A = this chain, B = another copy of it.
Amino acid sequence: MVMGMVVGTVVSTRKEDELQGLKFLLVKACDADGKPTGSTVVAVDAVGAGVGEVVLYASGSSARQTKVTKDRPVDATIMAIVDQVEVDGARRYNKE
């Protein structure tokens, strides 16, 4: 998975039927401190994530292995909200 920060939302009316009801979030890859650094993807939310939260998202066929995304044409899904990141024994990110 990749660690990223939810930075925004994407709204679409006209879309593939199987995507109805899913929430699309704009996620920017981030470093261990939770600072957005990398590329941006649009991921489906499977855990109730919100803007400003650091999350883990999975890509590819693994993105379809959740209750919310099963058999849907989704290739990026937010799987977890990150509470803490520790690098070399030091706390680098702490939610709240």
Chain A positions within 8 Å of B, measured between CB atoms, are: 1-3, 7-19, 24, 26, 31-32, 38-43, 46-48, 51, 56, 58-67, 71-77, 79-89, 92
Given contacts A10-B82, A16-B79, A42-B1, A66 and B73 within 8 Å (CB-CB): yes
A1 to chain B, nearest CB (A): 4
Contact of A61 among B12, B62, B92 (CB under 8 A): B62
Q: How far is the CA of A39 from the CA of B37 in the complex (A)?
A: 11
Number of this chain's copies in the complex: 5
A23 to chain B, nearest CB (A): 12
Given contacts A1-B42, A1-B74, A3-B10, A61 and B58 within 8 Å (CB-CB): no
Q: Is the CB of A1 within 8 A of B62?
A: no
Contact of A26 among B59, B64, B65, B85 (CB under 8 A): B85
